[in-house]
Amino acid sequence: MRNICLLVSYDGADYYGFQSQPGGNTVQDKLEHAILTLTGERLKVHGSGRTDAGVHALGQVVHFLTGSSIPAERWALALNARLPDDIVVRAAVEVPPEFHSRRCAVRKTYKYAITSCRFPDVFERKYVFHHPAPLRFEAMKEGLVHLLGEHDFSSFTSPLSTKPHHVRTVYEATLNVEPGGDGSIADGRGKASLIISGNGFLYNMVRIIAGTLMQVGEGKRKPEDIARILAAKDRSKAGPTAVPHGLTLMSVEYGPEWGIDWRAAMNRKR
C-alpha cells in the first residue's frame, strides 16, 4: 500500500464540516467518493484535524493508504475532475507509510477574518465576518500578546472537549488590518485578519479567541483581560464563539523528515 498525502482547499459553506458524519455531505465524504470513482477503492481519508460546519480551508492536509499505482503527480487533476467545485486538491505527494496527517502535524495556522467597514465586501461575504461597528484594533493587538507561548487554554475551548489536557503552545498571534474601502483604520474601520499559529488547537479554540477579542475591540473588555481569562481556566469567563464562516485553516506543517514540499509538487511539470 502507498501513502498519498493531499493539500486541499475548500469553501466550507455548504458542508457539515470536514469529518464524515452519518448524514453525509462532509468534505471527507466527497474526497472518499472521488477516490472511489477513480480507483474503485472504498477507503478512509484522514485529515490533519476536523473543521466545523461552515469553516473553510486553504491548506488542509489529508492522507490515505491506497493500492493504486497512479503516480503522485496525477492525483490532483484526477480527483478535481471528480470533486464539486468548492473542493480543490492543490497538490499530492507520496509520503512514508508511517506518516499521519494529524499525528505528525507540528504547527497549524488559522485565519479569522473580520471586516468592521460599514458594509461588507460582497465578494468576500462568505469568508469574512461582518462586524458593522468600529473596532479598537490596537487594543485587540495588545490582547493577542497574552496568548503567546504555552498555556492551559481551558477557557478557550468548549466544555464538551474530551482532550486529556488543554495545554497548547501559540507561536504567533497577530492582527493584520487593511483599509476596507469605507471609513479609515484610525476610526476603527477596516479588514482585519487574526492569524494564529500553534502546535495544536482545541475544539472551537480559534472561534472563542476571535469572539473574545472582538469584545476587546468593542471596548467591553481590556487587553489584559485575556491574561485573566487564560488564568481562570473556565470557559464561562471568555467571550462568545465567533461564527464559523470567518474561519479558515490556512496551513499545516510537518517536520523536514517527511520530505513534504508542496511548492515543488505544485510546480512539477505534468
Closest distance to its own copies from the beta carbon of 86 (Å): 6
With beta carbons less than 8 A apart as the criterion, state whether 265 and 93 touch: yes
Q: Which stretch binds its own copies (CB under 8 A): 62-70, 160-168, 179-187, 191-199?
A: 179-187
Interface with its own copies includes 81 (CB under 8 A)? no
Interface with its own copies includes 257 (CB under 8 A)? no
257 DSSP assignment = G
Q: Maximum distance among all alpha carbons in the chain?
A: 58
Interface with its own copies includes 267 (CB under 8 A)? yes
Q: Which one, of 217, 174, 223, lies nearest residue 195 by Cα?
A: 174
Task: Note the Cα 129 to chain centre separation in Å.
Answer: 15
Interface with its own copies includes 11 (CB under 8 A)? yes
Q: Which stretch binds its own copies (CB under 8 A): 135-143, 154-162, 178-186, 227-235?
A: 178-186
To the query of whether residue 52 is one of the catalytic residues in this protein, the response is yes
* C-alpha cell, 258: 517527511
Site residues (CB under 8 A) for its own copies, limited to 123-142: 123, 125, 127
**CA gap 102, 46 in Å, rounded:** 8
Closest distance to its own copies from the beta carbon of 172 (Å): 21
Q: Which stretch binds its own copies (CB under 8 A): 18-26, 73-81, 193-201, 252-260?
A: 73-81
Strands 56-66 and 247-254, sheet pairing: parallel
Q: Catalytic: which of 29, 52, 152, 261?
A: 52
**CA gap 72, 91 in Å, rounded:** 9
Round to the nearest angstrom and report the end-to-end CA distance of the chain: 23
Residues that bind its own copies (CB under 8 A): 9-11, 56, 58, 76-77, 80, 85-91, 118-123, 125, 127, 181-184, 266-267
